[in-house]
Amino acid sequence: MPVPTESLEETPSMRRINIDRPYWDQSTYRGRALHFLTVTNPLNIFATKKELERAREVVKKYRESDDGDLEKFEIAEKELWRHKYLYDSAFHPDTGEKMLLIGRMSAQVPMNMLITGCMMTFYKSTPAVIFWQWINQSFNAIVNYTNRSGSNPISTETLTRSYVGATGGAVITALSLNRLAQHGPPLAGRLVPLAAVAAANCVNIPLMRITELQNGIELQNAEGTKVGQSKRAAKQAIMSVTLSRILMASPSMIIAPIVMNYLDRKQLLRNMKWAAGPIQVLICGVCLTFATPLCCALFAQRVPIPVQHLEPEVRDKVLASHPELDTVYYNKGL
């Protein structure tokens, strides 16, 4: 398969593949979608220890090689990329440590499928609402911890504050809306979990990235060298991530209630009450399989921002040390 020009480097003797950049062109939505479809592939969680170690060995040796000659590794270009994406699915990009299984991006679909399905199945009773919102935010905390930055790690205090705030926000929202929904149509009650998840994301993500809001997100030049920090860019990044997370959860948490409401009205499950849960979990799984990568791809990971659009003090500082720059970049996060 053809490799985009952005993932290649030329050497005096041959073409070298830059495996530290995504395989697909990230300036297009299609390229970002294909990239995240590979990153979030649930099949990667079934990779054996031997396969993961092989992937790490291949990636490590290729990075350390002088000329990038694939013949020395007795491996095809397609295989190299397969090993690279498998490596990325299991090992932390900064520390190189193997990540906790349920915290990996490849575990997002199966874990969220189960949790979301249960949240929408057991949404009526107060104990069930509290329990499943707590489970959901506990899972989010594990994901955030597992994917923490190695160069700028999340402190225990920040993680705890985010966990408590998101759990509290989700539970309060769900219980409050459940009371209001008692006087509305049945479908309104089924949509309460979506509102609770949206509220939790609006609390969780800003709290997790509070240091960026206080000190600014790192700005880089085209080569990846740090040139400054911007609070304005941090706000844009956090808004983009929050929106994509809410949109990611929306298809499953809207389609499943509509389907279940229809089945209830037609009394199609009157003799199979037990099937409600599995049906909702299955619907969530199908939706999340596509919604997760497609919503991650909505916004570019490495975002360009004109220097003139930065805060005046940040702009002046950047131009004082790098007068030739007209565009800087920041990593949006996930």
Q: What is the pTM (predicted TM-score) of this model?
A: 0.81
User: Where are the extended beta strands (E) located within the chain?
Assistant: 8-10, 15-17, 217-220, 226-230, 302-306, 327-331
Position 149 scores a pLDDT of: 62
**Residue 71 near residue 61, CB atoms below 8 Å:** no
Helix (H) or strand (E) holding 282: helix 276-296
Q: Residue 22: what are its φ and ψ, rounded to 5°?
A: -60, 150
**Residue 315 near residue 308, CB atoms below 8 Å:** yes
**Residue 216 near residue 233, CB atoms below 8 Å:** yes
Q: At what angle do helices 29-39 and 276-296 cross, to 10 degrees?
A: 130
Q: Residue 209: what are its φ and ψ, rounded to 5°?
A: -115, 30
User: CA separation (Å) from 271 to 108, 117, 283?
Assistant: 33, 20, 20
User: CA separation (Å) from 330 to 73, 131, 222, 233?
Assistant: 35, 37, 10, 7
Neighbours of 30 (CB within 10 A): 10
Position 15 scores a pLDDT of: 65
Q: At what angle do helices 108-121 and 126-146 cross, to 10 degrees?
A: 170
Position 125 scores a pLDDT of: 85
Question: What does the domain layout of the chain look like in residue ranges?
Answer: 29-98, 103-300
Neighbours of 222 (CB within 10 A): 11
What pLDDT tens digit does each residue of the chain (334 aa) get? 444 444 544 443 456 788 888 899 988 999 999 999 998 899 999 999 999 999 999 998 888 887 767 777 677 888 999 999 999 889 987 778 899 999 898 998 999 999 998 988 887 788 988 999 889 888 888 887 787 765 666 777 877 888 888 888 888 888 888 888 877 788 888 888 888 888 888 888 888 788 888 888 889 888 888 888 999 999 999 999 899 989 998 999 899 989 988 988 888 888 888 888 899 999 999 999 999 999 989 998 888 999 999 999 999 998 988 888 899 998 888 7
Q: In this structure, which amino acid lies at residue 204?
A: N
Nearest Cα residue to 38 out of 22, 50, 21, 51? 22
User: CA separation (Å) from 16 to 27, 66, 69, 86, 296?
Assistant: 21, 9, 7, 20, 28
